[in-house]
Amino acid sequence: MRPTPSTLLRVLHRIATTAGVRLGLFGLLALVAAWQPLSQVGQTNDFRDSHLLHSYEEAGARTVAMYGQAPLWNPWTCGGQYALGSPQTRVASPTLLLSAALGSHRAEAVVLWLFLIIGMEGCFRFARRSTGSAAGALIAAPLFGLAGFTAHAWSLGWLNFAGFLLLPWLLFGARRAAEGHLDGAAWVAGGFALQLGFGSSYPVPMSALFVALEAVRTLASRPLRRSGRWRAGVWALGATALFTLGAGMFRLWPLVETMRAAPRLMAGTPGHSLETVGRELFQFPSNADVGHFFFVPGALVFVLGAVLARRRATYPAVLAGLCLWLASGYAAKPSLFAALRLLPVFGTLRYPERFLVPAGLLLAELTALGFAALLIRSSRGRAWKWASGAACALAVAGIVVQVIGFGVLASRVTLVPTPIAVDQPFAQTRGNRWAQGSFLPLNRGSIACGEAWPVPMSERLRGDLPQEEYLEDPRAGTARRVTWTPNRLEVEVDAKRPTALLINQNWHPGWKSSVGEVVSRDGLLGVTLPAGQHRVVLRFLPRSGLGGSAVSVLAWGGLALLAWAPRRRGGSALWPGPGAVVVAALPLVAMGAMMVAWREPEAMPVLRNADGSLLGTAELPPDARLIHGRFEQPVELVAAQVPSAPDARGIVPLVIYWQVKGKVPRSVGIWVHVSGPGERKTADHAVVGGTFFFRDAPRRALLRDAFALSAKDWEPGEWKVLVGLWYAGGDGERLKAFTNDDTPVPEDRFELGTITVPPRP
């Protein structure tokens, strides 16, 4: 007997409202969607980014499983790296325990499967609370939980982007907190803490933006305004924000410390047409160029049906439109993404298309609204009843297509056999930044670093030393390794006179020694020692990691206290008003006290150009050509060095000397055109020396901006190097240029010199 529409609706409602059955369904959908990753566990993703990112997880798992230590220091990457301070590591997440127990390669697919279930359940709870329909939320949950970008990211080794699947939990928690429920703070603080620990450099700031918007949405809702509870909601949200800061300090403090020493700058003006954005979102991923954010086009029927819900559909529809605007990047005029990048933290975002992930969540909310609106009308007559039945069939078909699309994107991965591990003493090697996953199983550290931020690395790192621990003056005595672990080293030293013990790893202020004083030798880890026999024990005890963890424990303790106190008196776990803000602030006050009482040297960055030369210089070299050009913004083009011809390899090294004399907009960038016989080459860049935007550069310092061009395909003849400034992050207009005596410069450009390209052999 064919099931009637009412039977289908009852079945959907029963599944949606029975937690065990619902989670079982989500687990089954995740199993089918992630079958490709789960069926090939234990193999290695051969994509270059995966080599780098997975080596972090392998290092953390090895530190826990083999040495019984917390993953604080990673000696296998970039010559030694503060693991908690690296933005893209996920070693501060509870999922590391799975990696330690199962092996990092095997655990990766299991973690993906778990996050898919978490994402679907989070979307269900958020959509049900927004729409009031359990069946509608059930239909919408897999559309977001099995978002195409998660599969695409996994295929490239970017598993940390699964942190986006926590977004609905964060929005759900923000709404609960604003409504006066104490558990809302736990959802928000826990969600952000997990995102931070999972290495979610994009999901965290993007989620914070949408959490703030959801908080405003809830405070402005009719029930809170009519009851007057919005004032209590403001206090609750303030306390939630403080609790979230405290709960995430185990990771935030190390990150801030690292980014101060080595700022991560993202330049460029990426943009996408609306057609490209639409194809990324709605075209089935049949080839490698489209569908990376796949969301079933059939769900648009329900999105359009959401207009039946009227006012409830307005907010998600408007916000989804804003997400599409943001995803267009600089191609949209005006560019909302360009405006967002002017804000602190958001300036590190480079890829605007990732705003299609929250767009998918908002489309899922609209899908739930549209489906619920049809269900409500199913009792109005036979036609509506059969329409709702057709909607159920369409929804189920849409989920099936979403599952298939996820599998297609996940199958694009390139897997190779996992390298065989070799048990041997640790040592550094030159390495290869795009094959880093092959070195760690050999217990070799790679000093070829491929990170997206300027990791402080010593120029004295070596990949060919006979031993990793040695005396600075070999004639002063001997040094012998006793024990080696990632966070603890023990070395026997017999010194005939005062000397320094050097360790072939990067220096960090978190290293402490039982004897002597820890010092930096051109960025290399060292310990100054007096004469005599010493057993030197070096421990990595970073203030930011240990202190930040203590702050996080205090934050959770304060939240537990607020939950326990009213229950002890027979009340409910609601916010106690302004008192909660005081309790939430105490862990941050304790952090301030720790920073004062627990002093630690600050790791200052050594700012260099891409060619290794220092960014700052005290004076111009003799062969520099003086220009002294000025612009409408307070930037001076002081001088330049342009070679007369390419070198033997066909490379043209260029150096421009700049001086910033006042406040400059962040959007100001440098354009470089090299014009020759019938064509033009460009070397535009928005960041001086790969380090500073003009806005952030030190005032009145002489900045050496060094870069290079390849002239291998240039036609023989004379090529002129022309330079100016333009609003790279704005309307693209050139800045007006003037000579030193305020005479306007034609075409707002300066000629730096001429390069003669000889005839080809």
Q: β-pairing, 488-495 with 532-540? A: antiparallel
Q: Check residue 628 and give left, alpha or beta (phi > 0: left; psi -120 to 50: alpha).
A: left
**pLDDT tens sequence across 321-342:** 999 999 999 888 888 998 898 7
Give the C-alpha separation, 168 to 149, whole Å: 16
Give the C-alpha separation, 418 to 50, whole Å: 13
HSE value, Cβ hemisphere, 13 Å, CA-based, for 194: 19
Give the C-alpha separation, 398 to 167, whole Å: 22
CB 372 within 8 A of CB 132: yes
Model pLDDT, residue 269: 75
CB 134 within 8 A of CB 173: no
C-alpha to C-alpha distances, 663 to 564, 669, 701, nearest whole angstrom: 51, 14, 14
Q: How far apart are the first and last CA of the chain?
A: 83
> Are residues 632 and 734 located together in one domain of the fold?
yes
Peptide bond into 263 cis (omega under 30): no
Mean pLDDT for all residues in the chain: 89
Closest by alpha carbon to 265, among 693, 706, 708, 697? 693
Closest by alpha carbon to 117, among 5, 218, 28? 28
Closest by alpha carbon to 354, among 546, 204, 213? 204
Beta bridge partners of 682: 673
Structural domain span for residue 662: 625-757
Give the C-alpha separation, 94 to 421, whole Å: 25
Whether residue 738 lies inside any domain: the answer is yes
- Helix, strand, coil abundance in the chain, percent, nearest 5: 50, 20, 35
Whether residue 139 lies inside any domain: the answer is no
Q: β-pairing, 499-506 with 524-529? A: antiparallel
- Domain end, chosen from 506, 540, 574, is at 540
> Are residues 635 and 519 located together in one domain of the fold?
no
> Are residues 752 and 644 located together in one domain of the fold?
yes
The pair of three-digit structure tokens given for residue 49, joined into one six-digit string = 């980014």
In the chain, the number of structural domains is 2
- Domain end, chosen from 485, 506, 540, is at 540
Whether residue 615 lies inside any domain: the answer is no
The pair of three-digit structure tokens given for residue 259, joined into one six-digit string = 């980014």
C-alpha to C-alpha distances, 14 to 10, 596, 755, nearest whole angstrom: 6, 57, 76
CB 71 within 8 A of CB 97: no
CB 308 within 8 A of CB 380: no
Whether residue 482 lies inside any domain: the answer is yes
Whether residue 694 lies inside any domain: the answer is yes
Give the C-alpha separation, 744 to 751, whole Å: 14
Whether residue 397 lies inside any domain: the answer is no
> Are residues 535 and 629 located together in one domain of the fold?
no
Task: Write the CATH number for 522.
Answer: 2.60.420
Give the C-alpha separation, 142 to 371, whole Å: 14
Q: β-pairing, 444-446 with 737-738? A: unpaired
Give the C-alpha separation, 697 to 688, whole Å: 8
Kindly state the helix (H) or strand (E) to which residue 32 belongs, with its residue range: helix 19-33
Model pLDDT, residue 1: 35
Whether residue 684 lies inside any domain: the answer is yes
The pair of three-digit structure tokens given for residue 263, joined into one six-digit string = 């700022």
SS3 per residue for 507-575: CCCCEEECCCEEEEECCEEEEEECCEEEEEEEEECCHHHHHHHHHHHHHHHHHHHHHHHHHHCCCCCEC
Q: Check residue 717 and give left, alpha or beta (phi > 0: left; psi -120 to 50: alpha).
A: left
- Domain end, chosen from 490, 518, 540, is at 540
> Are residues 751 and 639 located together in one domain of the fold?
yes
Q: How many CB atoms lie within 10 A of CB 464?
A: 8
Whether residue 719 lies inside any domain: the answer is yes
> Are residues 632 and 736 located together in one domain of the fold?
yes
Beta strand residue intervals within 180-291, DSSP E: none
Model pLDDT, residue 8: 67
Model pLDDT, residue 349: 84
Give the C-alpha separation, 295 to 357, whole Å: 10
Task: Write the CATH number for 678.
Answer: 2.60.40
Model pLDDT, residue 63: 97
Q: Which residues of the chain have pLDDT under 70?
A: 1-8, 263-268, 287-288, 308-310, 378-381, 384, 566-576, 604-606, 729-731
Model pLDDT, residue 2: 43
Closest by alpha carbon to 610, among 532, 688, 538? 688
Model pLDDT, residue 567: 63
